[in-house]
Every structure is written in structure tokens, then in C-alpha cells.
Structure 1
Amino acid sequence: MTLQVWTYIMVGVTFGVYLTIAWMSRVRDTKGFYVAGGGVPPLANGMATAADWMSAASFISMAGLISFLGYTGAVYLMGWTGGYVLLALLLAPYLRKFGKFTVPDFVGDRYYSRTARVVALVCAIFVSLTYVAGQMRGVGIVFSRFLETDVNTGVLIGMVIVFIYAGLGGMKGITYTQVAQYCVLIVAFLIPAVAISLKITGVAIPQIGFGSTIQAGPDAGKYLLETLDTIGRDLGFREYTSAFGAGNKSMLDVFALTMSLMVGTAGLPHVIIRFYTVPSVRAARLSAGYALLFIAILYTTAPAVASFARYNMIGTVNDAPYVQMPSWFTKWEQTGLIAWVDKNDDGLIQYRAGKVFAGKPNFIDGAGSHGQRLVANQVTESANELYVDRDIMVLANPEIAALSPWVIALVVAGGLAAALSTASGLLLVIASSISHDLYYRIINRKASEKKRLLIGRIMIGVAVCVAGYFGVNPPGFVAQVVALAFGLGASSFFPVLVLGIFSKRTTREGAICGMIAGIGFTMFYIVQTKFLGVGWWLFGISPEGIGMIGMLINFAVTLGVSAITAPPPQEVQELVENVRSPRGAGSAIDH
């Protein structure tokens, strides 16, 4: 069977499974809609958390970034992994003891303030919408290539699927759908990784293979990583394994980005809410351990996949005649995610360091002398002729390695599972923030279960439409967009959650001012540097890493304002004392 047929089969079967699970898990009450009834077993919740956590950024984009950035790209891996450990040890058990549905719920009750609840609600929506934009871009990339639709149509299909199973089953449906999606995405990531590792190094375990020697071809007997370093130097790139220095991120920016990703993880509302779906504090700890194990399987494989992809891609395309390129190249070229400009008119693809275009490729009608797509905005002073979007490396890797069509189709299904699993969790956070935290807790305390469910589902629909827009008009690569969301989470939620648990003296005035100052500064810097063309003016820190500074500002403002305002009421201080001893499964206070 052809790749197209296999793709339709894999995607059709997996989507059918997801929708079936959602229908069988449909809910009729708000507890099932928000926290799956609080009865999910730890193992299942660990798998669901891993799927929720490992978004399109982890499956599609992280290995792609490492493939192009080398050692520096591993900052995403280190930050996200360390962040989950931080979340599991520092926050999860205590938040589960508190027993609320959402992060704004915790903030509103801990800081005894409707204003604090609304500020937290707005922050949750900003963080979640930024994050979900990256997922929808991932969906569009997958559909645009393998189902041969345009990106807009691909995003629309993803929107419809997510709305159905998120709106129908709520958190219960999402949880068990994510269990299935984890199984799909991890199998889809590992099978090609093992196959390519065997093909290049003869070692079946990718984590060992990418540190082994190449078994055939002109580089036979050489270590893979040393070969990538040599290739990089010869083509004008920095060495693949180099850490800091010319062409790499500065040490300060690497530290800031790692910290932003770590503490942003601990402040992500769609991950935190997963620990409310289990029946006890002990189950929350167990599910966190399971999730870390399931996450580690993919995260330790990603650097190997990145190395294999870079070696295969350079070996296939560099100095090769365009007219002899295999079909995968021209198929990706039609999506606009690969482009070649024959700057010296020799018909060969020269892949070197340097920009090919000013910005993204601006394609024009007509074909070049070799049949390639013509681009209007090429950069003539650079010798580089090849543009490759970083987000396609994992998806294109099995094609470049000439694996079987069913393996390629499985990777497609895995990429969609990763994007849609996280998107559904984020959409539920947005819906619950508005329907529960705003409408029920502030506007109408007498609202019926039926009405609250209806508003929640309407809000999922609205959020899906907004997410679809950002999927069509993304502000960067998938991992970059997701990193921005982590920065917003770091600068808004992490300080007030940590201080809310471990400091009885932190006041509502401090929390409100801290959240506003932290996320306000972070958004200001991101908008300036990402959209207004302003340089990285604060110590050379990138917009993806500025969340660390926003977090420090939040801590300083929260503690400073708390020191000069009246202490919290005695009952709130007793609540904090109770939450800090996470024994048992009950809520600290009633809904």
C-alpha cells in the first residue's frame, strides 16, 4: 500500500479510538467534567499526564531544535524534564490536598480574594492560549504534508476532533483518550528511532546508538557525534556538541531559558489539574512517578533521533542534484517547509551556514529551471541554498531513512496524538477557568450543574476557534511558541503557588500585585522582541527565557507588598498549615 493509504488508515483508526473513548466516557456532572470524578487510577493518570505533558513541542519540535542547534538545543529537554521533577516534588501533593478544581480556585481561596481569582483566571487563559497555539501549528504541519491538504484545512480538522472529545467527555473523556494517545505517540516515536539506530550504527537502543560508531558508508568506523562535529565545521556551522561560544546561546541565556522552562512547568495549569483527578494524595505522588517514567522514555530518545535526523538529512541533500532528490523532498517542498534557491545556477543543493531568505520563504508563481519553487525574498550574500523548517525533522526522518510506509504513517498518527492530547487539556483549562472560576464562583453561585456544563462546552468551542487562528498564524516554531507559554506560567503562577503553600504571611495584595507585575513584564518583553523588532535588551536574554526574570519580579513584588500589608486571616493561615501536611485524600475546605 502507498504512504497515502497507510496514513489514512493510521489516522482514521486512531481518531476512531479517541472518539469512541470520549463517547463511552461522556459526563453529566461538573466533577466528571473538570476532574474526571477524582477516581482515575495512578497508572492511567500517569500515562494521561505524560501525554498531556508531551505535546507537539516534545514529539515534533524538540528533536528538530536539537538537530539544528546541537547541544544548545538540549536546553529544552533539560528545562522540561527538571520542571516536571520540581512540580512532582514541590507542588503536586500539596495542591491535591487542597482539593480544588483549578489553579484560579486555589489562588482565589488561598488569597481570600475575588480579585486574585480573576487575575489568576486571566493568567491561565493567556498561558493556555499561547501553549495551544503551538499544538495547532503542529496539527497543521502534519496534515499539510501527509494528508496533502493546506495548513488551514489541517488545523480545521484538528479543531473539530478536539472539540468533539473535549466537549463531550470533559476531563474524564480527555483522561482516557490521553491514555490511548500516549500509547500511540510513544510507539510512533520509538519504532523509527530503533530502526534508524540499527540502520546507522547497528545498535538497537537509540540512547546507546547515537554515541556509537557509524557502520557503513564513507563515515564507517567514525563516531556519529564526532562526524556531526566535522560536518558542521566543514559546512560553516558550529560544532554539534559545542556548548557555549560563537554562534551559540550565551551561558546566561541558557540558564534563564532552563529556569523559565523548569518553573514554568510547575506553573502550568493544564498539568497541575491532572493531580486533582486521582482519589488521594498518595495516588497523586504515584501518578507523578509513573508520568516521569513515561516521559523519560521519549525524552532520553529525542537527542538520538535529532542526531540521526541531522546525519541523514545532510548526507541526502548536500551537494546532491535537485532533479535526483527523492519524493519526500518535493512533497515537503510543496508545503513551504522546505525550499531551495539555486543561487549559482548549477542545479546542486548547497547546504551551508547562513540565511536563505529574509524571514520566511515568499513563494511566487511559476517554477525554476530545475522545477523548484521560486522564492522572491532570497538573501544573495549567503552561500546557503536550502531552507528546512525545524519542525519537520521528526516527521521527515523516517522518509529520509527510507523506512516502510506504515512506519511513516505511524509517526504521523503519533504527531497528531501528541498535539491533540495537549490541546484538549489546555482547552479544558480555558473552559473551566471561565465557566467555574468566573461564572460559577463570581457571577452566579446558584447556577445549576446543567448550565455550568453548557457554559463549559461553549467556552471549549470559543477556545478552539481562537486556537485555530493561532494555528494558522503562529508566532514561531512549535517549541518556541510553547516556551513562551512556559515563561508566562513561570512569571504568573509559580511564585504565588509556592508562597501560597509555604508562606502563611503572604497576603492577597501581595499575590495580586506579584502576578500582575510578573506576567505584565514578561508579556511586555515578549511583545517587544517577538513582534515589534526590538533587540534582546535585558542582558541578551531571549524572549523564551525572560520568564525567569518575570518570576523573580513576581517573587520580589509579592513578598514586598505582603510585608507592608495586614497578614492573612487566622483561618487562612490554618488552611496553609493543613495543606503543608499532605496526608489523606480529602479537600482542605469545602466547595
Structure 2
Amino acid sequence: MTVQTWTFVIVGLTFALYILIAIWAKAASTKDFYVAGGGVSPLANGMATAADWMSAASFISMAGLISFMGYDGAVYLMGWTGGYVLLALLLAPYLRKFGKFTVPDFIGDRYYSNIARTVAVICAIIVSFTYVAGQMRGVGVVFARFLEVPVETGVYIGMIMVLFYATLGGMKGITYTQVAQYCILIFAFMVPAFFISFQLTGNMLPQLGFGGKVADGTYLLDKLDGLHRELGFAAYTEGSKSMIDVFAITLALMVGTAGLPHVIVRFFTVKKVSDARKSAGWALLFIAILYTTAPAIATFARTNLIQTVSEQPYASVPEWFSNWEETGLIVFEDKNDDGVIQYVGNQEKNELTIDRDIMVLANPEIANLPGWIIALVAAGGLAAALSTAAGLLLVISASISHDLIKKQIKPDISEKGELLWARIGSVLAVVVAGYFGINPPGFVAAVVALAFGLAAASFFPAIILGIFDKRMNKEGAVAGMVVGILLMLFYMMKFKLGLFGGGTKEEWWFGISPEGFGSIAMLINFIISFGISRFYPAPPEDVQEMVESIRYPRGAGAATHH
């Protein structure tokens, strides 16, 4: 069978599975829709969290980033893994004890103010849209290559798919779909890694192959460094970023993780506080499987790519090359008209432009693996992108229906009415997400890194101070969130989109890139929140008591409801 036939079969089967799960888990109440009825087991929730967590950025882009950036790409590994640990230890159990559905709900009640709630809703929507744009782009890239349709059509197919199971099943449908998606995604990531690791180094385990020797007896990484030098690229195993920038990006990704609304919501779907801790532990194990394999895959793909295309006559390029060329994600421009591909570090002489997002997807094709493995990777990439997109759409729809309409505009709305608004919110969110997927600002992982910066700049200080500082009041929290998110948006627009007079790398403040600036905006948010809260009266007694009770869990079994 051809690769395309295999893709139709495997992707078709996985889609049928998601649709069946959505129909089986149709949400009947708002509790089902927002938190899956609160009865998911820690193991299933751990898998669902891992699928929610490992978006198209982890599956498709992260190895692609490491593949092109080499050592510098490691900041994404450190930041995202570290952030997950921070979330599991510092925030999840306390928020679960508080027993709210959404982050704006926590902020609105903790800071006893609808203004704080509205600011949190706006921040949640900005963060989620920035993030979901990257997912939709990932879906488009996969469909473009494997169903041989334009990227735009791919985005439309993805929109319809997510809309179906997110609006029908809500969190209940999404949770069980994500369990299935995790299994597909991890299988799809690991199978080609085993094969290619064995092909290149004779070691089945990619983690061992990464440090192993190739056929001619040199170490794989030394060989890749040598290839890089010959072609004039920067050495693969040495970094070019300044220490302060590496630190800032890692920190922004870590605390941004801990403030991501769609991951925090996952901890409300279990029965009790101890289950929230257990599911965090399971999720970390499931995430580690993919994260320890990514650097190996990046290295294998980079080595194979350079060896297959560099200095090859264009007339005899392998089939995978022409297939990807049709999607426009690989572009060859013959600058010296000799019909030979010059893939070199010197930009003026380089004739090959490769989209970083294709490295993981093209990897099995470059290595000549069988058709069913190539199709499996396509299904895995879709599972990764769709699982996160669904989680994010739920955050956006819950912000609209629960935090704006039920809590502020129309408090006496019926359960049925609220559910209807949640579904309308999902539809609006999908349309906007689709637009961003077709006109994305930059490649997937960079867009996602900015979403983490926004979450770090806005939510993290408000949540941390809300749990650990009972003197923290609404004036401080609102001022901090507003200044933090505006500062981060300004920096992003100036240095990423060229607005406000634009700016070059040399003009970065403190030498920190837009991806790392979230950590500076977060520090300023902390200083402002803390400072301003001391000029205004302390929160009411009942709020202070509530903060005490979250921190010192008496009978920490079941969550208490106020």
C-alpha cells in the first residue's frame, strides 16, 4: 500500500475512535462539561494531562527546534519539564482544595472582585488564543503533506474535528479522547525512534543511540559536529545564547507552565486532593518518555537530512523531498544554476529553505522506513495537536460561559442556558483559532513559547500570592496582572511583529529575547502587586480565613466547597 493509503486508513481509524468516545461521553451537566464530573482516576488523568501538555509544539516542533538550534534548543526541554514539576508541587493541590472550575474563578473569588475576574478572563483568552494558533498550524502542516491538500484545507478539517468532540462531550469527552490520543501519540513518536536509532547506531533505545557510535566508529554527535563544520553551520553541541537569555527563557517557560489555564483545569477532574498529586506524578512519567527521546530524534533527523540532501544533484533527489516540496515547506532555489543542492551555513550561498516544523514528520521518510510507520507519525502529530487544541477551546468557552455570563452578566441563568453558552463559546473560539492557524505569527514552537511568556507575566504572581500571602488584596492583584500582560504584549509586538518602531536583537532589553521576556514582566508584576497591596486595606476576614484553610489542609481528603 502507498503511504497515502496507509495514512487514510490509520488517521481514519483514530478519528473514528475519537468520535465514538465523544458520543459515548456526551456531557449532560455543566459539571460534566467543565470538569468531567470530577470522577476521573489518577492514572487516566495522568495520561490525559500528558496528552494535553504535549501539544504539537512538543510532538512536531520541539525536536525540529533542537534539530536546527542544537544545544540552544535544550532550553525548551528544561523549561517545560521543570515547569511541570513546579505546577505539581506548588499549585495543583492548593487549587484543587479550593474546588473551582477555572483560573478566573479562583482569582475572582480570592480577590473578591469582578474586575479581577474580568481581567483574568481577558488574560486567559489572550494566552489560550496565542497557544491554540500554534496547534492549528500543526494540524495544517500534517494534513498538507499526508492528505496532499493545501495547509488551509488542513486547518479547516482540524477545526471541524475538534469542534465536534469538544462541544459535544466537553471535559468528559476530551478527557477520554486524550487518553486515547496519548497512547497513539507516544506509540507514533517512539516506533520510528527505535528503528532509526538501530539503523544509525545499532542501539534499539534512542536514549542510548544518542550517545552511541555510528558505523564508522565515530560518536554520533561528533559526526554531526563534523558535518556542521564542513557546511559552515554553528557547531551542534555548542550554544550561542547568552547565559542570561537561557536563564530567562527557562524561567519564563517554567512559571508560564504553572500558570497555564488548560493544564491547571486538569487537576479539578479527580475526586480528591491526593489524587491530584498522584495524577501529576503519572503525567510526569508519561511526559518524560517523550522528552528524553526528543533530543535523540532531533540528532538522527539532522544527520540523515544533511547526508541525503547536501551536494546532491537536484535531478536525483529522493521521493520524500519532492513530496514535501509540493507543500511549500521545503524550498530549493538554484542560485548558481549548477543543478546541485548547496545546503550551507552561509545565507548568501545557501539554496535550501526548510520549515523546522517538518523534521519529526519527515524523519521516517528520510530514513526510508515502511509506509505504515510514516502514516503512524502523521496520526501521532494530529493526536498531539488536537488534544491540546481541545483543552484550550474548553478554557476559552468556560471563560465566556462560566466567568463572564454566569458569574457577572446573568447570575440566574439556568444550567441548560449555561451549557448552551459554553457550546457557543467553543464555536467562536474554533473560528478565531482557525484564522490564526492559517495566518500564524512564526512557526509553532515560537508562538507557543510566547503564550508561556504571557501566562508567566499575568497569572503566575496572582495565583502564588493568592495562595501564600493572605495580606494580598484585589488592588494589588489587578494592577500587577494588567501591567504584566501589557508589558509582555508591548515587548512581543515591538520585537516580534516590528510595531512601535520595531527593534533588532542588539536592542533587546537586558539582552533578553521576546521568548524569555515573560520572566522580567513576571518580576515587575510581583513587585507592583506586592507594593500596591500594602497601600490599601487588607482583604475581608472571610477571605483571609479561606486562604488559611487552603494552605493548611485539615482532613485533606475531600475538597471543601464554599
TM-score by length of structure 1 reads 0.93
Partner of 2:535: 564
Q: Which amino acid aligns with 2:481?
A: M
Pairing 1:469–2:435 present: yes
User: For 2:492, which of 512, 523, 526 is the aligned residue?
Assistant: 526
Contact 2:273–2:559 under 8 Å retained in 1: no
- Report the Cα offset of residue 345 of structure 1: 1.0
Deviations 1:30-51 (A, max 9, x none): 0000000000000000000000
Partner of 1:146: 146
- Report the Cα offset of residue 589 of structure 1: 3.9
- Report the Cα offset of residue 297 of structure 1: 0.2
User: For 1:421, which of 387, 390, 395 is the aligned residue?
Assistant: 387
Q: What is the distance in 1 between the residues matched to 2:205 and 2:558?
A: 44
Partner of 1:368: none
Q: What is the distance in 2 between the residues matched to 1:587 and 1:573?
A: 18
- Report the Cα offset of residue 535 of structure 1: 2.4
- Report the Cα offset of residue 386 of structure 1: 0.8
Partner of 2:324: 332
- Report the Cα offset of residue 250 of structure 1: 1.5
Partner of 2:419: 453
User: For 2:235, which of 228, 231, 239 is the aligned residue?
Assistant: 239
Q: What is the distance in 2 between the residues matched to 1:587 and 1:518?
A: 31
Partner of 2:465: 499
Partner of 2:223: 227
Q: Which amino acid aligns with 1:584?
A: A
Partner of 1:86: 86
Identity of matched residues, %: 66
Q: What is the distance in 2 between the residues matched to 1:159 and 1:581?
A: 44
Q: Which amino acid aligns with 2:217?
A: G
Q: Which amino acid aligns with 1:91?
A: L
- Report the Cα offset of residue 584 of structure 1: 2.7
Partner of 1:515: 481
Contact 2:256–2:455 under 8 Å retained in 1: yes
15-24 vs 248-257, which moves further: 248-257
Partner of 1:54: 54
- Report the Cα offset of residue 585 of structure 1: 4.5
Contact 2:139–2:382 under 8 Å retained in 1: yes
Partner of 2:197: 197
- Report the Cα offset of residue 224 of structure 1: 0.4
Q: What is the distance in 1 between the residues matched to 2:392 and 2:108?
A: 20
Pairing 1:535–2:501 present: no
User: For 2:365, which of 384, 393, 399 is the aligned residue?
Assistant: 399
- Report the Cα offset of residue 254 of structure 1: 1.0
- Report the Cα offset of residue 146 of structure 1: 0.6
Q: What is the distance in 2 between the residues matched to 1:456 and 1:569?
A: 32
- Report the Cα offset of residue 587 of structure 1: 4.1
| Pairing of 1:155-170 with structure 2 (within 5 A) | 155-170=155-170
Contact 1:575–1:588 under 8 Å retained in 2: no
Q: Could you say what secondary structure the match of 1:323 adopts?
A: helix
Partner of 1:360: none
Pairing 1:579–2:550 present: yes
Q: Which amino acid aligns with 1:269?
A: P
Pairing 1:96–2:88 present: no
Partner of 1:267: 259
Following TM superposition, the consecutive aligned residue runs of length 4 or more in structure 1 with deviations greater than 3 angstroms are: 585-589
| Pairing of 1:377-392 with structure 2 (within 5 A) | 382-392=348-358
Q: Which amino acid aligns with 1:476?
A: G
Deviations 1:282-310 (A, max 9, x none): 00000000000000000000000000000
Partner of 2:409: 443
Q: What is the distance in 2 between the residues matched to 1:302 and 1:134?
A: 19
Normalized per residue, the structure richer in helix is 2
Q: Which amino acid aligns with 2:69?
A: L
Q: Which amino acid aligns with 2:234?
A: R
Pairing 1:278–2:252 present: no
Q: What is the distance in 1 between the residues matched to 2:356 and 2:241?
A: 17
Q: What is the distance in 2 between the residues matched to 1:584 and 1:233?
A: 58
- Report the Cα offset of residue 540 of structure 1: 2.2
Partner of 2:133: 133
Q: What is the distance in 1 between the residues matched to 2:85 and 2:559?
A: 24
Contact 2:262–2:391 under 8 Å retained in 1: yes
Q: Could you say what secondary structure the match of 2:203 adopts?
A: coil
Q: What is the distance in 2 between the residues matched to 1:474 and 1:249?
A: 25
The count of aligned residue pairs is 556
Partner of 2:290: 298
Deviations 1:14-70 (A, max 9, x none): 000001001100011000000000000000000000000000000000000000100
Q: What is the distance in 2 between the residues matched to 1:202 and 1:492?
A: 48
Q: What is the distance in 1 between the residues matched to 2:199 and 2:510?
A: 44
Q: What is the distance in 2 between the residues matched to 1:140 and 1:354?
A: 30
Partner of 1:108: 108
Partner of 1:551: 522
Q: What is the distance in 2 between the residues matched to 1:468 and 1:584?
A: 42
Q: Which amino acid aligns with 2:489?
A: M
Contact 2:142–2:382 under 8 Å retained in 1: yes
Contact 1:206–1:304 under 8 Å retained in 2: yes
Q: Which amino acid aligns with 1:465?
A: V
Q: What is the distance in 1 between the residues matched to 2:277 and 2:446?
A: 30
Contact 1:431–1:457 under 8 Å retained in 2: yes
Q: Could you say what secondary structure the match of 2:509 adopts?
A: coil
Q: Which amino acid aligns with 2:246?
A: V
Q: What is the distance in 1 between the residues matched to 2:230 and 2:469?
A: 55
Q: Could you say what secondary structure the match of 2:49 adopts?
A: helix
Q: What is the distance in 1 between the residues matched to 2:382 and 2:329?
A: 18
Q: What is the distance in 1 between the residues matched to 2:23 and 2:315?
A: 49
Q: Which amino acid aligns with 2:70?
A: G
| Pairing of 1:36-55 with structure 2 (within 5 A) | 36-55=36-55
Q: Which amino acid aligns with 1:546?
A: F
474-483 vs 248-257, which moves further: 248-257
Q: What is the distance in 2 between the residues matched to 1:587 and 1:295?
A: 27
Contact 1:35–1:171 under 8 Å retained in 2: yes
Pairing 1:342–2:334 present: yes
Partner of 2:187: 187
TM-score by length of structure 2 reads 0.98
Gaps of 5+ in 2: none
Q: What is the distance in 2 between the residues matched to 1:587 and 1:567?
A: 26
Partner of 2:314: 322
Q: What is the distance in 1 between the residues matched to 2:258 and 2:268?
A: 15
Q: What is the distance in 2 between the residues matched to 1:354 and 1:119?
A: 47
Gaps of 5+ in 1: 356-381
Q: What is the distance in 2 between the residues matched to 1:439 and 1:116?
A: 15
Pairing 1:486–2:478 present: no
Q: What is the distance in 1 between the residues matched to 2:421 and 2:558?
A: 28
Deviations 1:240-274 (A, max 9, x none): 1103xxxx222111111110000000000000000
Q: Which amino acid aligns with 2:426?
A: I
Q: What is the distance in 2 between the residues matched to 1:539 and 1:399?
A: 43
Q: Which amino acid aligns with 2:225?
A: D
Q: What is the distance in 1 between the residues matched to 2:207 and 2:472?
A: 45
Q: Which amino acid aligns with 2:549?
A: N
